[in-house]
Structure 1
Amino acid sequence: MRSARSDDAPVDEGDQEKPDALALPAHVAGSGTLDRLVETARDYAKRATSENTLRAYAKDWAHFSRWCRMKGTEPLPPSPEMIGLYLVDLAAPTGNASALSVSTIDRRLSGLTWNYTQRGFTLDRKNRHIATVLAGIRRKHARPPVQKEAILRDDILAMVATLPFDLRGLRDRAILLLGYAGGLRRSEIVSLDVHKDDTLESGGWTEIMDGKDGGGALLTLNAKTGWREVEIGRGSSDQTCPVHALEQWLHFAKIDFGPVFVRTSRDGKKALEARLNDKHVARLIKQAVLKAGIRPELPEKERLALFSGHSLRAGLASSAEVDERYVQKHLGHASAEMTRRYQRRRDRFRVNLTKAAGL
């Protein structure tokens, strides 16, 4: 049963042009068994790419299709010459449009490549009309990556303190503390289920365990780099303990099956059935940053731009005073170098090769 629209209802993005679905070859007659296999294949194909990426790729295709029609051409079949001009228009647009960053342009091209593949075409990114233009754009417009601000220990405590103690507040407190202590991506937070295989769209599950050191929560995640386990120990007090916050939310929301984090009613007193959207995590972080008065010397717009869902992940990497390899394992990074990118406050010159070399 559907309840009334909640505080976390998603925005309607409108209809998007869909690629051709997987189907049987034209010369093969359909049957009950083959039709079921086709449906299963379509389901697997949908799961090959994350929901967020699919939405982004759909928007990329819609934007490119509109651009083509405004130029008096069609997006199909792929034309390397027109795609090269499209990239130029993204980097140095005419009129009042804003230029896109190099990373966004590269992502747009990846979106077009994916869309063409789904429609049975091949887009050669190495074609000179595309590759040389993109290389020139990178050379002229590339900038160092802009990192989001890390949420440090005192910040997260101040943010949690701004939340009320109604059901919505319990949920948001569990999201912030669990996301921070687990170094989780926002998609990983909202994709959690209570148990394994509770829902088809599950991205992992939770298990609260006892132990001689107080126990904690074991999260099994199907993350970007594959399956991994994240151990979240209990905190020093109930007020700041992510495991206690999770237990409180599940208990008072009466959740024992399905998604861990769901939407709430408008009054914040009733848990609904629908899984929370990952955009809520980003909004929650920005709102809590403002309420907690973090970086008060900056205008509100700049403060909001500094923080995102990744701020929780960077905060743990920057605050945890443990050996770097443990942080790397916790975050699921393949290399120590990637972990160091998240450490905003590390001692960069602790290992001094200049002195070690005798200078």
Structure 2
Amino acid sequence: MRKTPENQPPDTQKSRSASHEARRNERESAADRAIPLPSHLVGSGSLDRLVDTARDYARAATAENTNKAYTADWKHFTRWCRLKGTDPLPPSPEVIGLYLTELTAPQGKAPAMSTSTIDRRLSGLAWNYAQRGFSLDRKDRHIVAILAGIKRKHARPPAQKEAILPDDIRAMVATLPHDLRGLRDRAILLLGYAGGLRRSEIVRLDRSKDDTPDSAGWVEIFEDGALLRLDAKTGWREVEIGRGSSEQTCPVHALEQWLHFSKIDFGPIFVRTSRDGKRALDTRLNDKHVARLIKATVLKSGIRAELPEAERLALFSGHSLRAGLASSAEVDERYVQKQLGHASAEMTRRYQRRRDRFRINLTKAAGL
């Protein structure tokens, strides 16, 4: 008797299903890595190096975290298509409209997505289609009408993380030990706070220019402070971090202490340490370390202790450092805008949790 899918053992069916899924994902990954070439150039060994370099440039066109998000977007969409019995290729505005609709009210235990996440998910699909040689018309009436309705019905003001204020950051660094890991983490918190840095900008700093290919900037230390040259979202920018009034909370002193005791004079600045905590390794820290460090020190320092632990953890993230600088620095707004690397003052104001919103009173200025 020949075995059919119906009379095969369940484990065999699952194995074949998993194997089929793996082959499909492999084909999609291969499509991601491929760079189309004119037919008369295909197979030319002399172009292999240029193809590899071009592929690296193509990946570098968007930030690493953006690439990861877009990859996850495509996997989620293609899985949804398979469950619904449809094909993700070529792009169908009607199918994508239905997909966006389900994101607002998914079946099962999956939470509904915010409108900003849905917007990002649509951008991810458009990018993925472009990589596969297709064009997704985001202005198609099916997509435009459904997306407008979703925003009208479900849009909410963006949820903002709480700012870390001066007393908070002092309490947080006070919880850190004075071993090698403590020196590193103290420098991360103080440098990120005083520089208004994103967590990816912190961990991708190198000791000097052109030390590593995955660097996003480097540091120069002077008598009066440190100068950071960063390759950020809005392009290259310089961030000046002056020395503080106390060595306990001075970001430049903390950085010098870490570099001295870790013996780092080349390559990534913020790296992992050995298990015994006595040696700095060569491996660059992941930006998630910054988020975990912030949450851990918030708990240890007792910030917002009146709230349950889960709520306290949800209030703070890597952006809390940037919001803290924007909310606490008593200087002209334009200097804060420059430090954060914002293109507009309006974006900077979104980070300011404490500011006099009515300093300019247009009601009185209008004579009322």
Would you say same fold, with TM above 0.5? yes
Cα distance, 1:269 vs structure 2 = 2.3
Cα distance, 1:265 vs structure 2 = 2.2
- Comparing 171-180 with 25-34, which one deviates more in the overlay? 25-34
List aligned pairs for 1:109-258, cutoff 5 A: 109-210=122-223, 215-258=224-267
Mapped pair 1:262 → 2:262: no
Cα distance, 1:93 vs structure 2 = 1.5
SS in 2 for 1:217: strand
Distance 1:22 1:195 in 2: 33
- Structure with the bigger percentage of helix: 2
Distance 1:278 1:145, change over 3 A: same
Residue in structure 2 matched with residue 39 of structure 1 by the alignment:
52
Matched AA of 1:80:
P
Tell me the TM-score normalized by structure 1.
Answer: 0.92
- Comparing 249-258 with 332-341, which one deviates more in the overlay? 332-341
Cα distance, 1:35 vs structure 2 = 2.3
SS in 2 for 1:193: coil
Matched AA of 2:297:
A
- 1:75-123 CA-to-partner distances (Å, cap 9, x unmatched) read 1221211111111111112233211111111111111111111111111
Kept after mapping to 2: 8 A contact 1:205/1:219: yes
Kept after mapping to 2: 8 A contact 1:24/1:30: no
Matched AA of 1:329:
K
Cα distance, 1:23 vs structure 2 = 3.7
Residue in structure 1 matched with residue 323 of structure 2 by the alignment:
314
List aligned pairs for 1:286-325, cutoff 5 A: 286-325=295-334
Cα distance, 1:275 vs structure 2 = 0.7
- Comparing 324-333 with 14-23, which one deviates more in the overlay? 14-23
Distance 1:164 1:304 in 2: 21
Cα distance, 1:276 vs structure 2 = 0.5
Residue in structure 2 matched with residue 61 of structure 1 by the alignment:
74
Matched AA of 2:279:
K
The aligned length equals 342
Mapped pair 1:332 → 2:341: yes
From 16, 20, 37, give the equivalent of 1:24. Answer: 37
Residue in structure 2 matched with residue 278 of structure 1 by the alignment:
287
- Comparing 55-64 with 23-32, which one deviates more in the overlay? 23-32
Cα distance, 1:260 vs structure 2 = 0.7
Residue in structure 1 matched with residue 350 of structure 2 by the alignment:
341
Residue in structure 2 matched with residue 6 of structure 1 by the alignment:
none
Kept after mapping to 2: 8 A contact 1:20/1:118: no
Tell me the TM-score normalized by structure 2.
Answer: 0.90
Q: Percent of pairs identical after alignment?
A: 80
Cα distance, 1:131 vs structure 2 = 1.4
Q: Which has the larger radius of gyration?
A: 2
Q: Which has the higher contact order (CA 8 A, sep 6+)?
A: 1
Cα distance, 1:31 vs structure 2 = 3.6
SS in 2 for 1:354: helix
Distance 2:262 2:36 in 1: 43
Distance 2:186 2:74 in 1: 38
SS in 2 for 1:64: helix
Matched AA of 1:79:
S
